[in-house]
Amino acid sequence: MVCLGNICRSPLAEGILKNKTQNLDVFVDSAGTSSYHVGNLPDSRSIEIANKNGIDLTYQRARQFSEKDFDDFDKIYAMDTNNYSNIISLGRNQSDRDKVDVILNELTPKSYDSVPDPYYGAGDGFQIVYNMLDNACDAIVGKL
Ligand code: 4NP
């Protein structure tokens, strides 16, 4: 799960998908395309909305996406089209690029809709993001 800062959207996506795949042999992680917040806890607003839904994010620390992630993961979900383009540009070959998709394409294939960045917005942005990611993760789990 990859966003820009790895403190708002992708930590939530990681927590939600981990919660839904507890009984499956699946490893879920998240990262940011930027290094802005490396080592930081998720944003307190993400921690709070996750908590309300019984999901703990406080074990997470932000890290930057790297080329090695193409080796370590079968599927790489970008939260929006900017991050999608940045990840694609880091791909070393077609096999790397084939692993990357925009997460909302799981709900509406090939739509390339973005999960809005809630960082600078009002508080309900995190609820909207949570609901989008919860639905998208249901679709992912349905295919596993
Ligand atoms: P995220 O949100 O990509 O969902 O973690 C953001 C967090 C921080 C910044 C931008 C987006 N920032 O510019 O610092």
Q: Does the annotation count 3 as an active-site position?
A: yes
CA nearest neighbour of 47 among 62, 63, 69? 62
Segment holding 18, helix H or strand E: helix 9-20
Residues with CB under 6 A from ligand 1: 3-9, 32, 36, 117, 119
User: Which residue, judged by its Cα, is nearest atom 7 of ligand 1?
Assistant: 5
Q: Does the annotation count 9 as an active-site position?
A: yes
Which stretches of the chain drop beneath a pLDDT of 50? Answer: none
β-partners of residue 138 are none
**DSSP character for 76?**
E
The pLDDT of residue 121: 86
The amino acid at residue 89 is S
Q: Report all structural domains of the chain as residue ranges with CATH numbers, in order of start.
A: 2-143 (3.40.50.2300)
pTM for this predicted structure: 0.97
